Structure 1
Amino acid sequence: MEQSTLIRRGVGLRGIDTTLVSPGYTLIAHLTSPGVIRLISTDGTEAHRWTLPFRPGRHARILPNGNLAYNGVHPDSPRLFPLWQKYRGGVMMQVDPAGNVVSEHRDPMAHHDQHHLGNGEILYTTLEALTPEQAATIPGGIPDSEAPDGKAYADCIKHVSSTGSLLWSWKAIEHLDPKLFPLHPHYAREHWPLINSVFPLKDGNILASLRSVSAVIIIERETGKVIWHLDDSVLAQQHCASELPNGNILIFDNGTFRKGESATYSRVIEVSRASRSIVWQYRDPHPMTFFTPFMGGAQRLGNGNTLITEAAFGRVFEVTREGSLCWEWVNEEFADYKGLGAEEIEGLFDYPANALFRAYKYTPEEIPWLAEK
């Protein structure tokens, strides 16, 4: 009998409503692959793949010029702490449809979100070690759970040019008040505040998601000040905050340790920037059947639908504005971390997984070269 519950429940295309689904192709990066990126058609078949020399450092996107923006795992990053091997990145590549590397920027301390802006510039998250005095100012977390070297690390955000020159930078320890952004009690003190997404806003400021403190913030680029803040009264270890054309903020809200509720479920929320209120949300009609404890993605599509990544289980699905499910696909490829240079977590994640960090969907018009194959 098949021992994987996920496989028994079904993989590949699980359903489609052709009258409601947005036409196009979904880009996925299987996290425990050696570096395979695939475009999946709405019929569930593979339309294109890239095979790259580094395992995914979280995710990939298609740029306006048609190239692939890929974040791979840096081969020479320091071994900071075990979970660092799971979510680090560091090799930021632009790759053409044939797999040729067009450009590359490396930072061995980069992690989670390396957001390619389309003009060769990159906005990304990175880490630096705190001094003992700085680390002592951060409340919360599991006592005595610093990294093996005794240090605590804190996030930075960098914006670099197409040639790798630093255009702008921001350090959490210099601009966040730790008393307002304490670590949740179940988090290790090795990494604060764990920024898992960065997004450039139309007004020039920076939107960031801080997982281990359950907050989404807006950073004023000119001063570095936090000028907008959504806290854990709304969010629970969220991911993938992005700005919509109407100025609202779309967020994947994981729901782990959500305040005021004992049942655990994930949801996608659209928040008004002006009022900080939820103006739209999706959660499964049976809420607890849609849940990923970590990772996750949400993308508002051109026809108003929302593409959602239930990341830990390799599930990508599309819903209408009214909440109707119109497409569902589950990654059929499973692998563990053996042979991927992540020995520290082979025992923590010792099962074949089909996990994705987040997925993105593109219309045929956004990938014209695909029709020319």
Structure 2
Amino acid sequence: MRGWVRIRGEPPLLLRSQQNGSLTCRCGLVSSVIRTALPLLLVSTAVAVAPLHTAATAAPEPDHSLVVSGTGVATYPAFDPDVERYAATTTPETAGSLTITATTTDPAGRIWIDGAPDPDGTATVTGLEDGDEVAVFIDDAAGRSVHAVVYLPHGFPALSTPVASPGATPGHVLITPNRFANGSDTYEAAVDARGVPVFVHANRDSASQDFKPTGFGGYTVFRDDVSGDAAGSRLVQLDRAFEPIREIRNIGLTTDAHDAILREDGSRIMAAYERDPANHDRQNAVLQEVDAAGDVVRTWNSADHFAPVDPTLTGDARDAAIAATDTMNPFVTNPTTGAETMRLDYAHINSWELVDGDQNLLLSFRHTSSVVKIAWSDAEDRTDGRDFGDVVWRLGGKFSDFDFTDDPYAGPCAQHTASQLDNGNILIFDNGSPSPTNGLFNDAAMCPDPADPAGEPVGRQFTRITEYELNERLGTARLVWEYTHPVDGGPEWFALFAGGVNRLDNGNTLISWASARKAMVTEVEAVTDEVVWQLEDDRSHGLSTPYFSYRAVKHQVADAIDPTVVLEAPADGAVLDLGSTVRVAQQCRDRGGSSLQQCTSTATSGLLDTSRSGPLTLQVVAVDGAGNRTVVTRGYTVSGPPSVPPVTPAPANPARPDAVVRAPGGSWVGDGQYDGRQRVRTTLRRASTTVRVRLQNDGGTSTDLRVRGTSGSRAVRVRYFVGAEDVTRQVRRGRLRLAEMAAGEQVVLKVKVSRREAARSGDRLRIRVRANVPGRPDLDDAVQAVVRVRGGQR
């Protein structure tokens, strides 16, 4: 069984049967047995780990449960009332079908599944496609709880985050899970802090690589070329909703999938691996720049700079050529036969980026164990006397232009993903290499010997992340930061091939371990080198080797996908009998990561209005957490005796207050929902946190709004701000008046929550903010934020 059980009152005693593996929970007189043979059970109730300290005694919060089942289905992470999003792993036999069961202990509570009210809280949802989300709403005395279950492509691994601390950088991580095995599927995904995708795509019997944002909206990813008339890969440009816009290939060359630079105007820099026309026993690394018009404007070839060895040479001439080439090991030995052959791919380019105001290009060459900066502008545009394509400097390898003053390993070895930081330092995913050979690639040692970098290479079978500060005038490279994993002893992780590293905006470092296969991605804190987040494949798919991602990039993915609404009944233009009972069959579904928050219709309790004759309309509105909205209107006619036209009084006040709430790092909740049940949860782990409440007038005329909010408790202090103005006293007394709010006008109320010295882990406070039109208590709306204290004060 996956998941856990929490029972209000006394701490539960969980006993596992040694005979059948069942779990028994005994809490006072309560005893329940949950057998692992049942479908995945996710159960939650609120744990009373400490007394609840609020300004007034509150009613017990209802308990919720959620069960997700289906053929071959499992879910992650374990259920928690504070967690909104979950993922359902599947098999081909799952066939797009999930059964969802949700409950609340509130007798007056209501359950919504897939956008439709469900009287018994159980529904089987069919027709699901990869990436679809099944929305679950639980409306009860505690407000509305929103959950989403993402239907994953079959074979997508169950991901876990054994380390996920508050120090992790907010955002999503873009990955391409791959087992690097013939015939295995690969995937593209953007996952949240718990490894649940906000986007996922399966690439069957093919490969995806280098999935990243463009920097001008949208994304790019390399996929194998399946056109039949081209070799290599194709760069696929995706829009903000991850829909393909176009496919890009090199002109007259193969297309390599290691990296790409794509500009907004369509110009780009991409690479190719091409057989040397003068010697087919070697393969050149070629860079091609194409302008916005589709014309090739620059080409760079490694053969012009790296002196590849001519395999026909013998004796002293051969030895001299080996000594002169940049390639660390120009010949490889077959570990089985002992036969020596020339390394076809003598350079192996694997990353490149424009630097220094786009004047230069920073390149990583695995087989020369060097990071190389080359001039990427013409002589007339430069002040250093170099021309396009000239080598500015080499960092590492046999002929490094820099001395490594304090690096005992004399620079990088078989590295990947070199980048130049804002301060000019060079950050490298330094793979290392086996010694003498691993067998997978017939790789010989490729690390420079610290005692003689130009001599016979050596092995170094562990991977490290390095950052060098360069002094170009003195020709020195100072190792200012180095990271290996694990840091607490034991053999260091070793990625024989692939891998990547990024420096994040807050100074943390994101590492994709690739073929090390110990973890998929690790985020390391800037100052302490503490692991603050780690993503792993928990191997629940039963495969012997876990999935890995060639690279990983952290990026805040914006939900640009509108929800969908399906109305199966009534049919458009239906003619119905007066007074007949017609139930509305509606479905609201979302994808994109912000989760469906609302699926409402003008029908009352799910029944169509047939109380009066004539043409009528039904409207269904779906809204997700990013505010994306879809409205579907359907007309129908009720036949029968003419209805007496109702007398419609003039509206006393057409204003409509709307309160919307957002927890730190979350989405806005409650837009267009006026029942006062919208709620968010947040955790107070540090000294303070801020919840935001957006108060807006959704009506057609201007109005005043009066605002009242919860006071603090002995454990938690609550203060309210509009802009920089402290309005705490007015809000607590219900005297904050937002005057003359025009139709559509919004004001954001910041709710700053701080822990007091008396706060203990487990303390909780429910903060309620209410806005109403003065003198009209029926025109109001409210939101709630449940704040839970965790851990000691930091």
TM-score normalised by structure 1 residue count:
0.77
Matched, 1:245 2:375: no
Tell me the amino acid that sits aligned with residue 190 of structure 1: L
Structure with the largest fraction of strand: 2
Residue in structure 2 matched with residue 139 of structure 1 by the alignment:
none
**Residues 57 and 166 of structure 1, relative CA distance in 2, 3 Å threshold:** farther
* Equivalent position of 1:305 in the other structure: 508
Query: Which residue number corresponds to residue 189 of structure 1?
Result: 343
1:317 corresponds, among 509, 522, 533, to: 522
Aligned to 1:28: 175
Q: 1:263 to 1:242 in 2, by over 3 A?
A: closer
* Higher mean displacement: 233-242 or 111-120: 111-120
Matched with 2:281 is 151
Q: What is the rounded CA distance, in whole Å, between the counterparts of 1:27 and 1:123 in structure 2?
A: 22
2:224 match: 73
Partner of 2:296: 166
Q: Kindly, what percent of the aligned residue pairs are identical?
A: 24
Which residue of the partner structure matches residue 124 of structure 1?
A: 270
1:202-351 to structure 2, matched below 5 A, reads 202-203=356-357, 204-221=359-376, 222=378, 223-232=388-397, 233-256=410-433, 257=445, 258=447, 259=449, 264-274=461-471, 275-284=476-485, 285=487, 286=489, 288-312=491-515, 313=517, 315-321=520-526, 322-331=528-537
1:304 counterpart letter in structure 2: G
Pairwise CA distance, 1:175: 2.7
Contact 1:58 1:89 in 2 (8 A): no
Q: Distance in 2 between matches of 1:124 and 1:255?
A: 26
Alignment of 1:56-67 (within 5 A): 56-67=207-218
Q: Which has the higher helix share?
A: 1
Give, in angstroms, the shift of residue 180 of structure 1. 4.3
2:193 counterpart residue number: 42
Structure 1 position 65, deviation (Å) = 3.2
Residues 137-194 of structure 1 deviation map (CA, whole Å, 9 limit, x = unaligned): xxxxxxxxxxxxx532111111223453223210111133442412415655221211
CA contact (8 A) 2:470 2:477 kept: yes
Residue identity in the other structure for 1:327: W
> Which AA in structure 2 matches 1:22?
T
5+ residue gaps, structure 2: 1-156, 309-323, 333-341, 379-387, 398-409, 434-444, 451-457, 561-591, 595-625, 629-794
Question: Aligned equivalents of 1:157 and 1:334: distance in 2?
Answer: 41
Aligned partner of residue 273 in structure 1, secondary structure = strand
The residue type equivalent to 2:525 in the other structure is T
1:81-96 matches, cutoff 5 A:
89-96=232-239
Contact kept? 2:164, 2:534, Cα under 8 Å: no
Question: In structure 2, do the counterparts of structure 1 residues 216 and 49 end up closer, same or farther at CA, with 3 Å as the change threshold?
Answer: same
Structure 1: distance between partners of 2:207 and 2:268: 17
1:73 deviates by: 1.2
Matched, 1:358 2:551: yes
Give distance in 1, aligned partners of 2:369 and 2:536: 28
What corresponds to 2:786 in structure 1? none
Q: Partners of 2:416 and 2:326 in 1: how far apart?
A: 16
Q: Which runs of 4+ in 1 moved over 6 A?
A: none
Shift of 1:225: 0.9
Task: Give 5+ residue unaligned stretches, structure 1.
Answer: 1-9, 80-87, 136-149, 336-349
How far off is 1:57 after superposition?
4.7
**Aligned mates of 2:166, 2:327 — CA distance in 1:** 47
Q: Specify the code of the residue in structure 2 equivalent to 1:27.
A: L
Over the aligned positions, Cα root-mean-square deviation in angstroms equals 3.1
> SS of 1:197's equivalent?
strand
User: Once the two structures are superposed, what CA deviation does each residue of 1:281-337 show, in whole Å capped at 9, x if it has no partner?
Assistant: 2112237332211001001111110000110116211001231111111245799xx
Q: Aligned in 2, Cα 1:281/1:231: closer, same or farther, shift over 3 Å?
A: same
Helix, strand or coil at the partner of 2:367: helix
Distance 1:59 1:323, change over 3 A: same
Kept in 1, the 8 Å contact 2:161–2:194? The answer is: no
Greater relative CO (CA pairs within 8 A, separation 6+): 1
